[in-house]
């Protein structure tokens, strides 16, 4: 491997000798395939685990299409695309991660699911492997506590869509060691990303600010202040946002939006974070946004149509 990651400014034995070469990713969904995309393109060997081979195959097809877009825009060459795809393999079980230096969890934003994953994952990793969670809101300290290596555990929150978004939030749990942080930061920088360091508070920085805005937009719709179309138009043209808040909620996934708001509401005990009942209703209906073809917009036709 020609891209080992080594922190330059540490002198401890782990920081001097430990490098990241092989990456494991848990979850082949939108976030997982995006992380696999950028890691493989940066020269890392990547193993992706999901519940089925079909989910992995779908992820690889998505990565190939996204790489094709980069080729068409002359951001990468055709040979770079082919090489990146050749670096991505399927991990049928966690035992395939035995030689990985870093495993990034990108499963659904549900704490019980993540805790179950980490409890099992720890049994299969080499002692110095780092575990990272892509959680967008859940306590890194709490997740780390179920592993056998809270000192080698960190929050590594990529933004969606991963290939396009520059930022990665790094979140240290209470037990995260300095060398774990430094190696992780160097790895993120090797992907061409920029890091922002957040304390381990509910929803961290980006979602602590972004999701209450989206939730307030849903309240604005719920209370009849404006329609879906008028709310999104107002924020795009009035605040110069590239995407309206309801359109953005559909892109993120309404279930994820609700999960983050619930973490904020329960973690900070402030009524201003109460999830809007309309957001709850949409999630209960299974209208989760783009991934289910219906949310605040209906995507089943040629042009998205507001559902309210």
Write down the domain spans for the chain.
13-198, 206-306
Given the residues 207, 215, 247, 259, the one annotated as active site: 207
The more confidently predicted of residues 10 and 103 is 103
Q: Which of 105, 169, 177, 182 is catalytic?
A: 169
Tell me the per-residue pLDDT of 122-158, one tens digit each, with 9 for 90 and over: 999 999 999 999 999 999 999 999 999 999 999 999 9
- pLDDT tens for residues 239-296? 999 999 999 999 999 999 999 999 999 999 999 999 999 999 999 999 999 999 999 9
Q: Name the fold adopted by 13-198.
A: Rossmann fold (3.40.50)
Question: Residue 40 contacts by C-beta under 8 Å, 6 or more apart in sequence?
Answer: 46, 63, 84, 85, 87, 88
Neighbours of 163 (CB within 10 A): 20
pTM of this prediction? Answer: 0.87
- Known catalytic membership, residue 157: yes
155/160 Cα distance (integer angstroms): 16
pLDDT over threshold 60, residue 60: yes
Please state which CATH number belongs to domain 206-306: 1.10.1040.10
Q: How many CB atoms lie within 10 A of CB 239?
A: 10
Question: Is 37 labeled as catalytic in the residue annotation?
Answer: no
Of the candidates 134, 157, 198, 247, the residue annotated as catalytic is 157
Active site residue 136: yes
Question: Does the pLDDT of residue 7 top 80, yes or no?
Answer: no
DSSP secondary structure code for residue 124 in this structure? G
DSSP 132: E
pLDDT for the residue numbered 18? 64
The answer to whether 241 is a known catalytic residue is no
């Amino acid at each position: 491997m020609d891209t080992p990651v080594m922190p330059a400014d540490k002198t401890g034995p782990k920081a001097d000798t430990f490098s990241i070469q092989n990456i494991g990713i848990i979850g082949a969904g939108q976030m997982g395939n995006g992380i696999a995309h950028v890691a493989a393109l940066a020269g890392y060997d990547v193993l992706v685990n999901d519940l089925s081979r079909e989910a992995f195959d779908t992820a690889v097809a998505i990565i190939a299409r996204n790489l094709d877009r980069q080729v068409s825009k002359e951001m990468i060459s055709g040979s770079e695309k082919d090489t990146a795809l050749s670096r991505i393999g399927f991990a049928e079980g966690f035992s395939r991660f035995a030689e990985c230096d870093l495993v990034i969890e990108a499963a659904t934003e549900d704490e019980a699911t993540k805790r179950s994953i980490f409890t099992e994952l720890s049994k299969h990793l080499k002692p110095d492997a780092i575990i990272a969670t892509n959680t967008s809101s859940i306590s890194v300290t709490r997740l780390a506590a179920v592993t056998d290596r809270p000192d080698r555990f960190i929050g590594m929150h990529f933004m969606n869509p991963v290939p396009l978004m520059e930022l990665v939030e790094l979140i240290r749990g209470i037990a995260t060691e300095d060398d774990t942080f430094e190696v992780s930061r160097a790895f993120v920088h090797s992907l061409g990303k920029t890091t922002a360091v957040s304390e381990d508070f509910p929803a961290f920085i980006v979602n602590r600010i972004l999701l209450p805005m989206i939730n307030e937009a849903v309240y604005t719709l719920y209370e009849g202040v404006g329609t879906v179309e008028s709310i999104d138009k107002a924020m795009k043209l009035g605040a110069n946002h590239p995407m309206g808040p309801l359109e953005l909620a559909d892109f993120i996934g309404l279930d994820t939006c609700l999960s983050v708001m619930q973490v904020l509401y329960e973690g900070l005990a402030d009524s201003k974070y109460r999830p809007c009942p309309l957001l709850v209703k949409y999630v209960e209906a299974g209208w989760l946004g783009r991934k289910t073809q219906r949310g605040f917009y209906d995507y089943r036709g040629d042009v998205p149509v507001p559902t309210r």
